[in-house]
Structure 1
């Protein structure tokens, strides 16, 4: 069994689990599905997050919320922090390093950051500091743990920016980054009931054309396509992991006309919802 340590106080919860090769399959079940997760994954692992496959050749941190996780192979010891929004989240913490920042639910759909040897050592030490606090159960443990969680997220955010924003593919000026971060956050909150660019532009207090132009100027997918992508991802999750009918899924995702939803899914994915449910097999491969 994995080593498990947990802090719980009223509505707040944070746990740390250390996994070895023999008990990795526990991660593939529903136990941690509703938690916010920071997962240290050593090189050599293969895993699927939702419908994307990753072969990890560099020690990495994955940042997950309600994604479906499947560990396929892995030998070295891995560690996972899991916590709820009452323990650490945007309502009481800086938005960039909270649970809805760049690392979680970003529009680039990159849920990981790579670590070099020095960063790996630093991150492991922070995990171990959290482990110590959970074992000691001191009265000040909660605040100490929260400071360590924030350090992990700050370090990872810096690395994520360096690895994914400062390159030839994506260059986002610092003063523009908040728009993309907030769009990601609003999309995750509202994708079931808000389906248009205008609705998200309103939340961001900018014109729809301005929002679209910001994405186009950086050669990113359009806001409209990102909205559709998020809806389709949830549709695929519901089709593959639940017994809901296509009609029920359409209603869950805010479509009063299931036939319209069926046409949208078929047009965008090249297969009908029913065919996807019966014939899905893991698709895109990512190696890093």
Structure 2
């Protein structure tokens, strides 16, 4: 298995060639704690959390540490996995420049991937190749060079994701997009503590109706749906990947009344928490 690692102090970044030989390692717990960028050729299938994605073209995937990743099939060509921790590159710190937090990772649509058009593939290939070369360079500038290529990759990927998944929204004023990006950041940070639109609108210093109107104007889901969908996603993760009871899951997600949470989960998924757990684990027995 071809792999590279750079580590100094608490900062760590690595790269793994993704093919049939490395599949077991990539799907293991080895890289779960890291932020991950996956670059795969066509004819691959990837499961992220509870959705499966098929690559018809070269595609980029962006996986947060709390997300579950399983590459179910790899094509004939080699792919790449870059993994790193926040000490090496923190999205929030570089947010003003990269503007990708809330878009590439834990984005508003919960879509962790974007296809790479053929005219962009050459440049994306170049970036991954340069990162691979830099792992072999031992000088004081190595760390900064790797970080520079990573930043270019995030910037280019952000543009691709916005074009692919936001469509005409990208033509909206920057301020409009900035509001929904900040909102999704806040939801990711506080969904366990804050369940109402008013709570987030207060932090953003705008009226709840204004927040709702801004997202509707961009053809995006309502703020309430975004909050509840994030809560339900985490509930599914806890139900499937831990032994916690439905009551414990409810408490973890900030609900003092487990019965209320159970009703919310049933309305959103069509199944009770225990029913969802049993059905999913029966369909995916390898997770047990």
TM-score strictly above 0.5: yes
The alignment yields a C-alpha RMSD, in angstroms, of: 2.0
CA 1:7/1:251 → structure 2, altered by over 3 Å: closer, same or farther? same
Alignment of 1:50-61 (within 5 A): 50-61=49-60
Distance 2:51 2:151 in 1: 27
Deviation track 1:233-280 (CA, whole Å, cap 9, x = no partner) reads: 000011111111111111111111111111111121110000111012
Q: CA deviation at 1:98?
A: 5.7
2:80 equivalent to 1:42: no
Q: Can you give the 5+ residue segments of structure 1 that lack an aligned partner in the other structure?
A: 284-288
2:127 equivalent to 1:126: yes
Partner in structure 2 of residue 73 of structure 1: 73
CA 1:171/1:235 → structure 2, altered by over 3 Å: closer, same or farther? farther
Does the aligned pair in 2 maintain the 1:52–1:282 contact within 8 Å?
A: no
Partner in structure 1 of residue 191 of structure 2: 191
Alignment of 1:131-150 (within 5 A): 131-150=132-151
Does the aligned pair in 2 maintain the 1:51–1:282 contact within 8 Å?
A: no
Deviation track 1:63-94 (CA, whole Å, cap 9, x = no partner) reads: 11021111111122110111111111134313
Bigger relative contact order (CA 8 A; separation at least 6): 1
User: What TM-score, normalized by structure 2, do the two folds share?
Assistant: 0.91
Partner in structure 2 of residue 26 of structure 1: 25
Does the aligned pair in 2 maintain the 1:89–1:98 contact within 8 Å?
A: no
Partner in structure 2 of residue 245 of structure 1: 245
Q: Can you give the 5+ residue segments of structure 2 that lack an aligned partner in the other structure?
A: 284-288
Distance 1:269 1:282 in 2: 17
Distance 2:124 2:241 in 1: 33
Partner in structure 2 of residue 155 of structure 1: 156
CA 1:53/1:281 → structure 2, altered by over 3 Å: closer, same or farther? farther
User: What TM-score, normalized by structure 1, do the two folds share?
Assistant: 0.91
Distance 1:281 1:197 in 2: 33
